A and B are shown apart, each in its own frame.
Chain A
């Protein structure tokens, strides 16, 4: 099997290196990927069409809104799949954990204090990353992961039960569904007003400002939706993997 693997890898690598000669040079501004009309339109016209400085956010949430919406659905589906695979309801005695050797009765002072100091800052930073995605690197996915990390830190530092007090399982799944609902809601709302799905400019009827402002504000809306889903699913994935699907005690 190993020999077969090496042969396969060498042949594939050789073929890819042969094809590499046709690829554009390093840093070539006239490469096919950068030279096409679409990519240049994104760079020069984003600011006029959406008023968003960060082109990546604009392309992600507006021009390629379908892609991002179903990306969020992929995350949601992965979370559901993990719950379906791992989650065990009721008492289960399979896979006994070794008895914890550390004293878990009293939380450590240093860990306790660090958590108290760090978690609010991490959450604030996550909100900043979500809200500031229009002007700096950031957005729903990144901010959502950071927000989820705050809960994972809580679960790691204390135990899963403590984290579950803040984000119990049913609330997590509701949050994940609400995120997709917010995103798809923007699309359906545009549809109701008589435009295409996820064509935000028509949302000027319910949002302040003109059509461009509507696109600007809707992008923030869908980013918030994405952040909800990503936060919830990140924590759900962690808690399921860490507790073997029993949701009782973590690592």
Chain B
């Protein structure tokens, strides 16, 4: 029971290790060259699964910003380069500004004429701060980039492997490793 629980807790690692071992077995033990290539593909898929599962965060979404966050960032960037460098300072200033507005709203409660005006101001401010980007809301983009390139390398290696297999079949009339070795040994 304890073992099952430990498997369930880290099922992503178990799946990746099992897949990887299937691929490794096919690479080592299979006699057919195409089956070896299939094993190599399974091995690569296991690595991709491993990386992507590490990039997952609970409750996080794909690493693409929502529309309002993107506009928020756009707005920010328009202010100039110096602001980017002092982003943290800017956040602090924003917080302070929000507090001031809150105080201003309290004061406005007494004056009916200005209450609506201040309400809209506070509303816009709420929308502004809710569009702040938090790292825990988005899956890790770095692992996705690494795997995107790993898929590309996978395609390239698979293509070259298939080409070599096809050439070997043309030379030896077989894609069985043992038969090819036999033919080389007997010098045919």
Shortest CB distance A179–B (Å): 13
A244 touches B166 (CB 8 A): yes
Q: Which residue of A is nearest B79, CB measured? A: A48
A40 CB contacts on chain B under 8 angstroms: 135
B135 touches A44 (CB 8 A): yes
Shortest CB distance B72–A (Å): 8
B9 touches A33 (CB 8 A): no
Q: Which of B72, B135, B166 has a CB less than 8 Å from the CB of A43?
A: B135
Write the B1-38 contact mask toward A (1 if CB under 8 angstroms, else 0): 00000000111111001101100110011000000000
A16 CB contacts on chain B under 8 angstroms: 17, 20-21
A244 CB contacts on chain B under 8 angstroms: 166, 170
In angstroms, Cα B21 to Cα A230, docked, is 31
In angstroms, Cα B53 to Cα A139, docked, is 22
Question: How many chain B residues touch the partner (CB < 8 A)?
Answer: 64
Q: Which residue of A is nearest B26, CB measured? A: A5
B11 CB contacts on chain A under 8 angstroms: 26
Q: Which residue of A is nearest B72, CB measured? A: A47
* 10 nearest CB pairs, A to B: A47-B73, A5-B29, A78-B156, A27-B58, A55-B141, A40-B135, A5-B28, A29-B57, A53-B65, A55-B63
> Contacts A12-B24, A17-B14: A2 and B74 contacting too (C-beta < 8 A)?
no
Question: A107 interface residue, CB < 8 Å from B?
Answer: no
Write the A2-34 contact mask toward B (1 if CB under 8 angstroms, else 0): 101110111011001100100111111101011
Question: B162 interface residue, CB < 8 Å from A?
Answer: yes
Q: Which residue of A is nearest B10, CB measured? A: A20
Which candidate, A66-74, A117-125, A186-194, is the interface stretch facing chain B?
A66-74
Question: B149 interface residue, CB < 8 Å from A?
Answer: yes
Most buried by A among B77, B135, B155, B159: B159
A9 touches B21 (CB 8 A): yes
Residues of A in contact with B, size category: 35 or more
In angstroms, Cα B163 to Cα A53, docked, is 39
Question: A237 interface residue, CB < 8 Å from B?
Answer: yes
A9 touches B142 (CB 8 A): no
Question: B103 interface residue, CB < 8 Å from A?
Answer: no
B87 touches A38 (CB 8 A): no
Which candidate, A79-87, A97-105, A154-162, A167-175, is the interface stretch facing chain B?
A79-87
Write the B161-180 contact mask toward A (1 if CB under 8 angstroms, else 0): 01110110110000000000
> Contacts A5-B25, A13-B18, A56-B63: A86 and B149 contacting too (C-beta < 8 A)?
no
Question: B152 interface residue, CB < 8 Å from A?
Answer: yes
B64 touches A67 (CB 8 A): no
B133 touches A44 (CB 8 A): yes
A31 CB contacts on chain B under 8 angstroms: 54
Question: A127 interface residue, CB < 8 Å from B?
Answer: no
A110 CB contacts on chain B under 8 angstroms: none
A177 CB contacts on chain B under 8 angstroms: none
In angstroms, Cα B148 to Cα A59, docked, is 11
